[in-house]
Amino acid sequence: MNLTGRHLIDPNDFTIEELKRVIDLGLEIYRNPSNYASLCKGKILGTLFYEPSTRTRLSFESAMLRMGGSVLGFSDSSTSSVSKGETIADTIRVLDGYADVLVMRHPREGAPKLASEFSSVPVVNGGDGGHQHPTQTLADLITIKNYRGEIANLKVAFCGDLLFGRTVHSLLKTLSRFPNVSFVLISPEQLKIPSHLRDEIILNNNVEIIETQSLEDHISDIDILYMTRIQRERFFNEEEYIKLKDSYILYREKLTKAKDDLLILHPLPRVNEINRDVDADSRAKYFEQAKLGVYARMALMALILGVIE
Amino acid sequence: MNLTGRHLIDPNDFTIEELKRVIDLGLEIYRNPSNYASLCKGKILGTLFYEPSTRTRLSFESAMLRMGGSVLGFSDSSTSSVSKGETIADTIRVLDGYADVLVMRHPREGAPKLASEFSSVPVVNGGDGGHQHPTQTLADLITIKNYRGEIANLKVAFCGDLLFGRTVHSLLKTLSRFPNVSFVLISPEQLKIPSHLRDEIILNNNVEIIETQSLEDHISDIDILYMTRIQRERFFNEEEYIKLKDSYILYREKLTKAKDDLLILHPLPRVNEINRDVDADSRAKYFEQAKLGVYARMALMALILGVIE
Amino acid sequence: MNLTGRHLIDPNDFTIEELKRVIDLGLEIYRNPSNYASLCKGKILGTLFYEPSTRTRLSFESAMLRMGGSVLGFSDSSTSSVSKGETIADTIRVLDGYADVLVMRHPREGAPKLASEFSSVPVVNGGDGGHQHPTQTLADLITIKNYRGEIANLKVAFCGDLLFGRTVHSLLKTLSRFPNVSFVLISPEQLKIPSHLRDEIILNNNVEIIETQSLEDHISDIDILYMTRIQRERFFNEEEYIKLKDSYILYREKLTKAKDDLLILHPLPRVNEINRDVDADSRAKYFEQAKLGVYARMALMALILGVIE
């Protein structure tokens, strides 16, 4: 297995073995960070954020800096001149001369894929529209691996906006490729997962998918609860937003019936879908998830840069 | 005395001895910078600027880079996604995983204090509303120490906007804790210091405070003249701004009666409150003050990161 | 020859010998980058971009990072506070304490020159209005040197907007100082080079200048074809923009009559003035030009910082 020079645009770009390699290396770095503090000395990460994303951008930057590398880029295309009528193909053919690995966030689905076709250095998708967010999936997987020991034999619930949430789509697709993982998909009728995604999951993974509107009916039975925000900007009108935004809020009292080793995850930022009283519960791991995401990104970059193995 | 892991939100958070430790280390680094060029290797400063501030932000960045560390962050919350309905508490619990020390500027008073309560890494207040700006105070103190030898036995005049200026408030409070420092407070009637601050100073420091509207009456008698800008954005209406903005402008000719070792300071940027002909006067030290501020911030970060002593 | 501490505001600031020194060192670094990977350890580049420019800014940043130095600055004055009524002179007298070399882009012509007069560290002009862009000229020269072996005995065509294009003006002025370089200036009547520039070139270089509206008449005869974008923002009205923007588009079929060793250059970004089918032609070197520009900037900074020779 050699990941040197590889792009990561869609979680399906990597085999299960390759994903495991990234996760395992990430946990190894997490446990012994000082062994890796100079791994990327002389390497430059280029952050091409055509849409602001503080968390994802800074997680990548921290990952590169913690390996002794450095960072350049832009955090908002409106304050850069990349939009001066230039195509993505041209932009990439310039910027791949400035950096050794590129991460791109773009409001348009498919933009990072296009970039990867013109780039002489590895390109990582930092989120494209409602499409994919593969390194959030790596953050999710490394957290599951860290707290559960393996990514297998799990009943995983997703709760909230399952129609538009790219983090949900990326993780669902990916988990469906791991052994014996079943799903409980909890959402309002209007925000169920797209049917093409449901079909793909069933094809990968011949286990039960439950689609339901009730969190309470399933809370006692699940191993992982993945909460998501219902993003205001995804709604077509304000009225619908107000009606649905408070659905599926997790309060600590709802957890009394949950398993002791339940993992509560969230891609963050949260608004109010997880009440603050849940934070003190030892099963709440969403802040650890954000921290572990840095290590998953370190492992990913080290491997595609070819500075390890 | 151990400053490792400490936050600096208000200048009162540090004892006089602790402030002196920061200042003395800052001057030591200033005199022998090459001894400290790798002190923060592997350390990351996170700059969380919810409001633009080029000088303060770049001074911190320079300080960290000059010690061999690195920097990530955002310089304007509008081009970051930190405002997507997320609380400061949540933001900090993510970002403290990305950096080893955080500096926060925020338009809302108290925001850095709140951040420090949730952060696992030291938080430095980079200015919060009209409240405090403790590292500007460090820049002021290091300059006084550098040119006067000690911070004691001084008559210090503050001139300009004493009501809204957070740099004035932070420095006044802090100087009032040093031995035998008295004050001449020169401002229009409407821009006198807040009464609670006057009370606090008198409590700390049982010496005379003179409140006056005249700079000329006192110019011959003072050791330090701290000029401040009357910020347009602090005024309630344009008319009042225009009427007052030209008050208390310092021209070189006004300095003929001043002491030879007077120190003229200013937190910068200036607009016209110090006329350009003053720049050539050897008593004008405001640009040196900005430069020395970098060394004060180096010392502060080295101490709270625990990489020294 | 010693470039330590020198500013580069106008290409004429450097003699031909000095320009050659920069170019030659740039090519040496390009060929043996690992020999120079720590050359600027401990040095800080300050990027003062009062106007967004992703390519130029990131090229400088990459150059500094690839020599082991670090970078601070701002990429857009609207998200910085540098505009709070402060003069450039004051800003520079603060920022020259934060960095070891400064690059400034400014919408106002002459601003970098003014900055250099107040700075205690070297200042490089990163583009000022329609005036000069000397490091683009370095990128152009290093590309010519790399592919032609020497900068001499060349017939160079410039095509497009020759009136407003600062990259054209800087390169024209500079090439006119090299031995036996003649020019073919291809533009619409309204966008011919300014007459003062034509006079300067003729004075430098006693060879023929052809001014023409036809690219086709000269394509078979030239050694270098420097294409430029006709920038929308340079036009006085939309109608004129639409009428002229499609003039002088280069298609691959137009190249059939061109020399085999023609160099096609472009400062980028392009809009449609070079058709995409040209990219596959081995004579198209504009992406290599952008990449080589990083090495020219590395050499420039190493020399003015005095870390080499």
**Which has the closest alpha carbon to A177: A201, A142, A148?**
A201
Highest mean pLDDT out of A225-239, A280-294, B222-236:
A280-294
Paired strand residues for C74: C48
Provide the 3-class DSSP secondary structure of residue B48: strand
Beta bridge partners of B85: none
Q: CB–CB of A255/A217 below 8 Å?
A: no
Residue B97 reports pLDDT greater than 60: yes
Given 3-state DSSP classes, what are the helix, strand and coil percentages for chain A, each rounded to the nearest 5? 45, 15, 40
Tokens of C43: 């040095």
Taking the alpha carbons at both ends of chain C, their separation in whole angstroms is 10
What's the rounded Cα separation, in Å, for the pair B166 and B170?
6
Q: Is the pLDDT of residue A36 over 90?
A: yes
In sequence order, the 6+-apart residues with CB closer than 8 A to the CB of A121 are A96, A99, A100, A101, A102
Tell me which CATH code domain A11-132+293-305 carries.
3.40.50.1370
State residue A307 phi and psi, 5-degree precision: -90, 0
Q: Give the H or E element holding residue B94.
A: helix B88-95
Residue B8 contacts by C-beta under 8 Å, 6 or more apart in sequence? B14, B122, B123, B124, B125, B134, B135, B300, B304
* A vs B: CB pairs below 8 A: 64
Return d(Cα C273, Cα A83) in angstroms, integer: 17
Peptide bond into A269 cis (omega under 30): yes
Give percent above pLDDT 90 in chain A. 75
The whole-number pLDDT of residue A205 equals 77
At a CB cut-off of 8 Å and minimum separation 6, what does A306 contact?
A2, A3, A4, A5
How high is the pLDDT of residue A236?
67
Chains with ≥3 CB–CB distances under 8 Å to C: A, B
pLDDT, chain A, mean = 92
pLDDT, position C235: 66
Same fold, A11-132+293-305 and A135-290: yes
A154 pLDDT exceeds 80? yes
- Cβ-Cβ contacts under 8 Å, A94 against chain C: 55, 268, 287, 290-291
The CA distance from A58 to B33, in Å, is 29
Which one-letter amino acid corresponds to residue B96? D
Which has the closest alpha carbon to A74: A98, A39, A93, A90?
A98
Chains that touch B (3 or more CB pairs under 8 A): A, C
Confidence band, pLDDT 50/70/90 cuts, at residue B1? confident
C149 burial class (0-12, 13-18, 19+ CB within 10 angstroms)? Answer: exposed
* Helix-then-strand count for chain B, H and E: 9, 9
The pLDDT of residue B77 is above 80:
no
Write down the domain spans for chain B.
11-132+293-305, 135-290
Give CA–CA dist A232/A176, Å, rounded. Answer: 28
User: From CA A22, how far away is CA A299, in angstroms rounded?
Assistant: 5
Residue with tokens 């910078």: B33
- Token couple for A186: 């909890």
d(CA C238, CA C284) in angstroms, rounded, equals 31
Q: How far is CA A17 from the centre of its chain?
A: 18
**pLDDT of A301 strictly over 80:** yes
Q: What is the pLDDT of residue A53?
A: 87
Strand pairing report for B181-186 and B154-159: parallel
Task: Using pLDDT thresholds of 50, 70 and 90, give the confidence band for residue A78.
Answer: low
**The pLDDT of residue C20:** 98
Neighbours of C15 (CB within 10 A): 11
- β-bridge pairing B70-74 and B101-106: unpaired
Architecture of the CATH domain A135-290: 3-Layer(aba) Sandwich (3.40)
d(CA C14, CA C35): 26
**Strand partners of residue A124:** A8, A103
Distance of CA A98 to the CA centre of its chain: 26
Q: Does A204 touch chain B (CB under 8 A)?
A: no
CB contact under 8 A, B75 and C70: no
Chains with 3+ CB–CB pairs under 8 A to A are B, C
Alpha-carbon span C256 to C276, nearest angstrom: 16
Establish if B261 touches chain A: CB-CB under 8 angstroms: no
Query: For chain C, what is the radius of gyration of the CA atoms?
Result: 19
Cα dihedral across residues C258, C259, C261, C266: positive or negative = negative
Mean pLDDT by 10 residues, chain C (309 residues): 95 97 98 98 96 92 98 79 77 97 95 97 92 94 98 96 89 94 91 91 83 92 93 72 75 94 95 93 98 98 95
B271: contact with C, CB 8 A cutoff: yes
- For residue A106, report the phi and psi dihedrals to the nearest 5 degrees: -145, 140
Q: Give C72's strand partners.
A: C46
What is the edge-to-edge ordering of all strands in the sheet holding C70-74? C70-74, C44-49, C101-106, C123-128
> According to the model, what pLDDT value does residue C112 have?
97
Using 50, 70 and 90 to split pLDDT, how confident is the model at B232? confident
**Contact indicator for A157, A225 with CB cutoff of 8 Å:** yes
Over the stretch A174-211, which tens digit does the pLDDT of each residue have? 999 999 999 999 988 888 999 999 998 888 777 889 99
Report DSSP letters for C82-122, one per residue: TTSS--HHHHHHHHTTT-SEEEEEESSTTHHHHHHHH-SS-
Q: Are B156 and B224 in contact (CB under 8 A)?
A: yes
From C134's Cα to the closest Cα of chain A, the distance in A is 19
Q: Which of A239, A230, A191 is nearest to A213 (CA)?
A: A191
Q: pLDDT tier at B237 (50, 70, 90 boundaries)?
A: confident
For residue B137, give Cα distances in angstroms to A227, B169, B171, B300, C177. Answer: 44, 9, 5, 12, 53
In this prediction, residue B190 carries a pLDDT of 82
Terminal-residue alpha carbon distance, chain A: 10
Name the nearest CA neighbour of C26 among C53, C59, C71: C59
Q: In Å, how far is C264's CA from the nearest CA of chain A?
A: 16
Q: What per-residue string of b and e applies to B243-261 under the rule 16 or more CB within 10 Å gives b? A: ebbebbbbebeebeebbee
Tell me, yes or no, if C270 comes closer than 8 A to chain A by beta carbon: yes
The mean pLDDT value for B145-155 works out to 97
What burial letters (b/e) apply to B21-35, b meaning 16+ CB within 10 Å?
bbbebbbebbeeeee
Window 67-86 of A, Cβ < 8 Å to C? 70, 72-74, 79-82, 84-86
d(CA A72, CA A251): 41
Q: What residues of C are in contact with residue A99 (Cβ under 8 Å)?
A: 62
The interface predicted TM-score of the complex, written ipTM, equals 0.93
B120 in contact with chain A, both atoms CB, cutoff 8 A? no
The CATH architecture of the domain made up of C11-132+292-301 is 3-Layer(aba) Sandwich (3.40)
Contacts of C118 in chain B (CB under 8 A): none
CB contact under 8 A, A61 and B98: yes
How far is residue A90's CA from residue A82's CA, in Å, rounded to a whole number?
Answer: 10
Q: Which one of C40, C49, C54, C272 makes the best mutation probe of the A interface by having the most chain A beta carbons within 10 Å?
A: C54
In three-state secondary structure terms, C46 is strand
